[in-house]
Amino acid sequence: MTKSRICATATGLPANATITDCQHDAVILAEIVEAIDLLTNEGKRFDSVRFAITEVALEKARKLADDLDVLS
């Protein structure tokens, strides 16, 4: 596994993402998706929480995709 730094920001500022960081983000994203699935089974009572967590998952997925794109 490489430990090289990548630049993943639109401003060109260095991001501290490495392949290890991307792996960490992927694990966190998988757990967020699992939480969304569990909240879906709980009914309308947790809809606002599920919507908020979905936004976090989308943001994490975009960041992960950008970081992986730069690494490849």
pLDDT, tens digit, for every residue of 22-46? 999 999 999 999 999 999 998 899 9
pLDDT at 4 over 90: no
Say how far residue 15 (Cα) sits from the centre of its chain.
Answer: 15
Cα angle 14, 33, 22; round to 5 = 25
**Mean pLDDT across the chain:** 84
Tokens representing 23 are 């792996």
Retrieve residue 26's tokens: 């992927």
| pTM (predicted TM-score) | 0.71
Q: pLDDT band for position 7 (50/70/90)?
A: low
